[in-house]
Structure 1
């Protein structure tokens, strides 16, 4: 058994990475940006990095935010999943 504990995150946490993986296609990045703006007052689109999967079926969008706390992160996750286009939020 391994007793390694995850490091504690202190909030606010600057440059907190969120990676969203979903169905590629028109408007996916814009959808992620819209949700981030809803939950992150100072969201900076310049932190956005997009990558298509090797066959182009999926897209990953990574952003860096200033995370204010677990409630904010949970709300972002729920809104992203509610779109029906998002398969995973890391």
Structure 2
């Protein structure tokens, strides 16, 4: 390891380049639906209970059929992000998660 650090000091840095905790923006896209933002917020809050729904960014597509949401969470681990991505990606209302 660089600088004389061993694996116990760096954690699982081989798994991710992120250092936790970190503010992490999630981009979630789906078809425009009245409940879409609320559904996404509920999923995000299950994984990041300190997420403030008032900070959710919303942007409709140019044609108005889709909506893009940006939820910036305080990520505490790669496992947390992986679980959140899995749940969002598997939701039937969600088309894409970045």
Structure-2-length-normalised TM-score: 0.79
Does residue 67 of structure 2 align to residue 34 of structure 1? no
Poorly superposed stretches of 4+, deviation over 6 Å: none
Task: Quote how far apart the aligned CAs of 1:24 are.
Answer: 0.9
Q: Which runs of 5+ in 1 are unaligned?
A: 1-6
Does residue 81 of structure 2 align to residue 68 of structure 1? no
Larger Rg: 2
CA distance in 2, matches of 1:52, 1:37: 22
Task: Quote how far apart the aligned CAs of 1:12 are.
Answer: 1.0
* Aligned positions of 1:2-81 closer than 5 A: 8-13=17-22, 15-81=23-89
Structure-1-length-normalised TM-score: 0.85
Task: Quote how far apart the aligned CAs of 1:82 are.
Answer: 1.8
CA distance in 1, matches of 2:89, 2:26: 13
Q: Which has the higher helix share?
A: 2
